[in-house]
A = this chain, B = another copy of it.
Amino acid sequence: MSAIYTLDNPVFRDFAIHSTAVMLKTLAMGPVTLYYRVRNKAYCNKEDTVWVGEKGAKPVLDDEDVERSRRCHLNDLENIVPYFMIGIVYIAARPKPSTALWHFRIFTASRFFFTLAYMIPLPIPSRGFGYYGGLFTTLSMAYTIIKEALNHV
């Protein structure tokens, strides 16, 4: 039985590639929010408002574009983090590499689609497909873990 958590295990390798991609997407939301803060002059901290160039400028906490970007970012954390944590344990349940790969693909595609649907925005329920696509993939991996882990009790 070969080692589980090495790049020689195709399941771990595929998880590494897909997770890194979706994490980089999440990290990109920071600069996206910053872009809207600069464009709309919607800084959230007193000390940042020196960049607005108006004396006594106040922080803006309800800019629509900024808040949309922040909600999208938070939704990423709410979904991608549990996916990663459940995913890394899922690898130890030794799923078939092809089954695992489809989980990683569907999750990653769902989250990229979610981001587009949220930021453009596309009419509802578009972004719901991205959200539930990701959620059900994670639930499916969680089911596999519980089943396998209970087999080892």
A interface residues (Cβ-Cβ under 8 A, vs B): 3-8, 12-13, 15-17, 19-20, 23-24, 26-27, 29-30, 44-48, 50-51, 61-62, 64, 67-68, 71, 73-74, 77-79, 81-82, 84-86, 88-89, 92-93, 118, 121-124, 131, 135, 138-139, 142, 145-146, 148-153
Contact = CB atoms under 8 A, between A and B. Distances in A.
B20 A124 contact: no
Tell me how many chains of this kind the complex includes. Answer: 3
A153 B26 CA distance: 25
A99 B86 CA distance: 23
Given A7-B92, A74-B74, 7 more contacts: A3-B4, A17-B145, A17-B150, A27-B139, A29-B78, A50-B123, A61-B62
A18 to B, nearest CB: 10
B27 A82 contact: yes
A51 B124 CA distance: 9
A86 B48 contact: no
A5 B92 contact: yes
B86 A23 contact: yes
21 contacts: A3-B4, A7-B149, A7-B152, A13-B152, A16-B89, A19-B86, A19-B89, A20-B146, A23-B86, A24-B139, A26-B78, A27-B78, A27-B79, A27-B139, A30-B78, A45-B68, A47-B124, A50-B124, A77-B77, A81-B81, A84-B85
